[in-house]
Amino acid sequence: MAQFGPPAGSPAPVFTYNSLATPITTSLYAQRIQMSWQPQVASISSTVAAAAMVPAVVADRGPVTAERFFTFFTDQLRNPHTRADYHRDCLSFFAWCQGRGLEFAAIKSFHVSAYLEYLLRTKSKSSVKQHLAAIRMLYDWLSI
């Protein structure tokens, strides 16, 4: 089983995923990863590191929203494969939003619809439905 988190006495890790995401460096997030993300096999380690990422569109909204985004994946999704898929789908959506200059508060339902139409050009209907499910569940979680 792979181990995650900093060695004793070292600073909190900085995870990087891509230029559209903001690294999380606080010990609170590192503790959540260690407690909540117990991978079944070592190959999931990249998923764990990626799941610690918060898109810039969300991070710009503030630390409370960023933590809420992060806890959606640690607290709501039990299956590691669903967790990784939904995280990837949400990152894709927020990257699409960022590419169009949308801020978090400006994202409306018609933006989600436009994103889904964009996906239908290259993805199957079931993949697009999964993206919609991930976005819908995330927004339900963020709005509570």
DSSP class of 14: -
Asked whether 4 and 42 are in contact (CB, 8 A), the reply is no
Which of residues 20 and 141 earns the better pLDDT score?
A: 141
Q: Where are the domains of the chain?
A: 21-143
Assigned CATH class of 21-143? mainly alpha
Tokens of 23: 């690294």
Quick: pLDDT tens for 53-111: 899 999 999 999 999 998 999 899 989 999 999 999 999 999 999 999 999 999 999 99
Residue bearing tokens 């117990």: 38
Residue bearing tokens 């998923």: 47
- pLDDT given at position 120: 97
Quick: pLDDT tens for 26-56: 444 444 444 444 434 334 444 444 435 899 9
- The angle formed by the CA atoms of residues 19, 23 and 28, to the nearest 5 degrees, is 165
95 to each of 2, 16, 25, 33, 80, how far by Cα in Å?
29, 15, 21, 23, 22
Given a cut of 90, is residue 139 above it in pLDDT? yes
Three-state secondary structure of 54-65 = EEHHHHCCCHHH
- pLDDT given at position 34: 44
Q: How many residues does the chain have?
A: 144
